[in-house]
Structure 1
Amino acid sequence: MTGPHPPRRARIAFSDSAAEQLEKITGEAEIHALDRTLVVISVDPEIGRPVAAHTTGPQLRRYTDELEAVRVLYFVTALRTVVVVAYIEV
């Protein structure tokens, strides 16, 4: 008999501009910090604060990890299965 499954994590996708930013990150410490931040967001997509309220389209959110010095702007798809990263700052 198996135990209960942990909550399913959302898949992370990157906008074109975020993918370009990701390619420019070369330091191992920065990559590790970003990875940890993305795991936090994938486990709990609602953790970020809303950036601006609007009625059309998905809600843009901002998550800042002060310890890792990482800021990510993202939105979550309607079914909460995909997090689309729009901006990365490490």
Structure 2
Amino acid sequence: MTAPGRARVAFRDSAAKQLEELSESAVHALNRTLVVISVSPDIGDPIPTTGAQPPLRLYADEIEDVRVLYFVTALRTVAVVAYIEV
């Protein structure tokens, strides 16, 4: 269940595979980063691409040492994670 005002986080197949391979400490770092994205889905920097709709965004959390490539659905209710780097 998603808290009111937060976007739900979903994973593309490739990101879900990456998630399965993360250590427990990396998963905790990723979870803290995903909370930030769910509260403010537009926080990531837009990635210049040719025609990707919706546009991809990159959020890098320097403290947690996590980078997430994602896009946000049109209604801003779901952030779909495409790539994880921990």
TM over 0.5: yes
Correspondence 1:86 to 2:82: yes
Match of 2:60 in 1: 64
- Normalised TM-score (structure 2): 0.91
One of 72, 76, 89 as aligned partner of 2:72: 76
- Normalised TM-score (structure 1): 0.87
- Cα separation, 2, equivalents of 1:53 and 1:73: 13
Match of 2:18 in 1: 21
3-state DSSP class of the match of 2:83? Answer: strand
Structure 2 gap segments, 5+ residues each:
none
Evaluate the alpha carbon distance shift between residue 57 and residue 68 of structure 1 in structure 2; reply closer, same or farther with a 3 A threshold. Answer: same
Equivalent residues, number: 84
Structure 1 gap segments, 5+ residues each:
1-5
Evaluate the alpha carbon distance shift between residue 30 and residue 59 of structure 1 in structure 2; reply closer, same or farther with a 3 A threshold. Answer: same
- Cα separation, 2, equivalents of 1:28 and 1:56: 33
Please report the RMSD computed on the Cα atoms of aligned residues, expressed in angstroms. Answer: 1.5
Highest Rg: 1 or 2?
1
